[in-house]
């Protein structure tokens, strides 16, 4: 079955790098890539848009014309990879970015969202900008994968998956992650960060067993860090183990728990120049390529 991948682009070098990452990651898969550029409505600064549908927003005609040209240039560059398994479809939409992405995911039956991201304050080692964080934090029906600036695809061999062992994870809950990892020689490190040493209670031990079972044969190991705040602990651990990917698995929580998750995600993304995937339980099934291939990039 052909995979459907949504790539967000603003035509920057960072967006190009993410497009190359996606092309390389799915090199051996029949894949249709949807290249989405989102324009702000012409009246965005002065006219309230509440209640309007995406198609009813009025685009800036000059920016729309320029964006169409840039999308075709992007497709031309990606076609220079000469991969007969890949097809590229331009998507130009006007509206607010989260609404537009959700509509594109629904309409085109998207399996994964991929975006490149550049921190607004590189001097402070902030690696993910506010727009990327907003997208990562939104609930979509498919996984979201954010690629930080200057990251090059070299396969996925080390994965860090933070957990507090508070939610029983079953195989079907993380199926997209299993499909992503099963054809790689990959090792998953399940990380529990504590501000002080505490023994796991019975419920947490049960959840630990469920996670181990759900990983379904993928090599994995449990780790605990003590006397760390969660964001710093995850970031330091991932860097020290040369992680290729950090995976957050979320499900619907109370308001307080949701705020805590947002804080951790924001903290990790600000401090860590490693790709981050956010997977909401019961998202769509995705099976990517069989092995890692690094090819010379088209300049």
- Answer yes or no: do 47 and 105 share one domain: yes
The per-residue pLDDT for 112 is 92
Count of structural domains, the chain: 2
If asked whether residues 35 and 57 sit together in one domain, one would say yes
User: Do residue 143 and residue 13 come from a single domain?
Assistant: yes
Q: Is residue 1 domain-shared with residue 146, that is, in the same domain?
A: yes
The pTM for the full model equals 0.83
**The last residue of a domain, from among 105, 129, 150:** 150
In a domain, 295, yes or no: no
Give the domain extent around 28: 1-150
Q: Are residues 192 and 173 in the same domain?
A: yes
Are 94 and 164 part of one and the same domain? no
In three-state secondary structure terms, 223 is: strand
Please, is 73 exposed, middle or buried when counting C-beta atoms within 10 Å of its C-beta (0-12, 13-18, 19+)?
A: exposed
Residue whose C-alpha is closest to residue 7's, from 20, 19, 24: 19
Does residue 145 share a domain with residue 256?
no
- Candidates 111, 109, 113; CA nearest to 38 is 113
Please list the pLDDT of the chain residue by residue as tens digits (299 residues).
789 999 999 999 999 999 999 998 888 889 999 999 999 887 544 445 555 555 567 778 899 999 999 999 999 999 998 899 999 999 999 988 999 999 999 999 999 999 998 754 444 444 566 788 788 878 788 899 999 888 888 889 999 999 988 877 877 778 778 877 766 789 999 999 988 888 999 999 999 999 999 888 899 999 999 988 888 889 999 999 999 999 988 765 544 345 456 677 777 876 678 999 988 765 454 444 444 443 334 43
The CATH number of residue 159's host domain is 3.40.50.620
DSSP 113-151: EEEEE--S-GGGT--S-HHHHHHHHS--SS-EEEEETT-
Same domain for 73 and 128? yes
Per-residue pLDDT at 47: 46
């Amino acid at each position: 079955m052909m995979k459907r991948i949504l790539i967000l682009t603003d035509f920057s070098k960072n967006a190009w790098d993410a497009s190359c990452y996606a092309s390389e990651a799915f090199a051996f898969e029949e894949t249709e890539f949807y290249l989405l550029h989102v324009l702000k409505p012409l009246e965005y600064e002065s006219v309230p848009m509440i209640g309007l549908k995406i198609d009813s927003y009025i685009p800036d005609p000059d920016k729309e014309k320029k964006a169409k040209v840039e999308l075709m240039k992007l497709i031309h560059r990606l076609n220079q990879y000469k991969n007969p398994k890949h097809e590229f479809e331009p998507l130009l939409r006007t509206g607010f970015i989260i609404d537009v992405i959700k509509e594109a995911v629904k309409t085109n039956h998207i399996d994964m969202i991929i975006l490149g991201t550049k921190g607004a304050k590189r001097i402070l080692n902030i690696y993910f900008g506010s727009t990327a964080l907003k997208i990562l934090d939104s609930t979509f029906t498919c996984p979201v994968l954010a690629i930080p600036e200057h990251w090059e695809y070299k396969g996925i061999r080390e994965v860090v998956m933070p957990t507090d062992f508070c939610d029983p994870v079953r195989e079907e809950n993380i199926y997209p992650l299993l499909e992503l990892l099963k054809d790689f020689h990959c090792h998953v490190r399940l990380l529990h960060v504590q501000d002080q040493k505490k023994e796991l209670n019975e419920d947490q031990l049960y959840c630990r067993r469920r996670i181990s079972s759900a990983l379904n044969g993928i090599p994995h190991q449990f780790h605990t860090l003590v006397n760390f705040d969660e964001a710093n602990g995850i970031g330091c651990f991932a860097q020290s183990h040369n992680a290729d990917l950090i995976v957050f698995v979320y499900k619907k929580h109370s308001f307080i728990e949701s705020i805590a998750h947002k804080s951790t995600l924001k903290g990790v993304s600000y401090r860590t120049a490693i790709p981050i995937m956010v997977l909401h339980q019961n998202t769509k099934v995705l099976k990517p390529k069989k092995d890692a291939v690094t090819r010379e990039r088209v300049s």
